[in-house]
Amino acid sequence: MIVVLAVLFVAGVFSSNAGTSSVPDGTPVPYSKAVAVAISEGQVAVGGPWTVVVGLGIGVSSGLSEPLGPALTGNGCAYANPPGAPSSVVIPGTPSNATPGEVASWVFLAKNVSGTVILMMFVSDGTASPVSYVTGCSGVASFSAESAINATNVVDSTTIAASLDASGGSAFLANHTSATKMFVILGAGSAFGGSAFWEASYSTCGFGAGGGSGAAFVAYYYASSGSIFNGPTSSQITC
């Protein structure tokens, strides 16, 4: 399942696998701080109020500046731009000395009241930017079925990263100093017994890479307790 969850909603959004040297490092933050910004934006963004159900933390060693593509993969999706949506998104690099579990960029998905529209928001340096509305495909229904997530009903990304590192993640990073770090959280739904969960992964694949192969280290955790339920595993993957 390595980074399958992330790919479900960002594979088509960010297509580059190479850093852009002109993009500076950002300020790394844990999930708890980033989701608070997303929830606040969800109360005022057009079409809301919006309920945050999915989050993705992105830690890259070199910043990226990417044009936006489709926010969800799958057939039948229809896309629209929120008022003031950017034509591209800057993903700042995460400094190598950042606290484990803190990254400079977060992506959130939120559902509207009827569950028929998904809003994608990008959070970086304390600011949330709505970037895309999605309707009309199975991905919308899948994510709309997830329950709300916030900073109080789940453990933080720093807790998850500490567990991953203690189980072999630190050794992986020592051997792959430019690894991409991802922390994906989904609200409670039909999967995994109706529990919210974290997927934490380190990978040698560049973020958004569309080919080649790499090494990955991944584990899955119950989000309410931080206890592990699958992994960690180290494997070779297709980027």
**pLDDT at residue 180 greater than cutoff 80:** yes
**pLDDT at residue 19 greater than cutoff 50:** no
Looking at every residue in the chain, the average pLDDT score rounds to 84
Q: Residue 51 has what pLDDT?
A: 95
**pLDDT at residue 205 greater than cutoff 80:** yes
Q: What are the start-end ranges of the E strands in the chain?
A: 51-59, 64-67, 78-80, 88-91, 105-111, 118-124, 127-135, 180-186, 197-203, 213-222, 228-238
Domain count of the chain? 1
**pLDDT at residue 175 greater than cutoff 80:** yes
Give pLDDT tens digits for 74-127. Answer: 667 888 888 888 877 788 999 999 999 999 999 999 999 999 999 999 999 999
pLDDT (mean) for 146-170 = 93
Q: Residue 7 has what pLDDT?
A: 42
Q: Determine which of 43-47, 103-107, 185-189, 199-203 has the lowest per-residue pLDDT on average.
A: 185-189
Residue 228: C-alpha distances to residues 64, 160, 220 (Å): 31, 9, 6
| Residue found by looking up tokens 């039948």 in the block | 76
Structural domain of residue 177, as residue ranges? 4-238
What's this model's pTM, rounded to 2 decimal places?
0.90
Decide: 231 and 219 in contact? Cβ < 8 Å.
Answer: yes
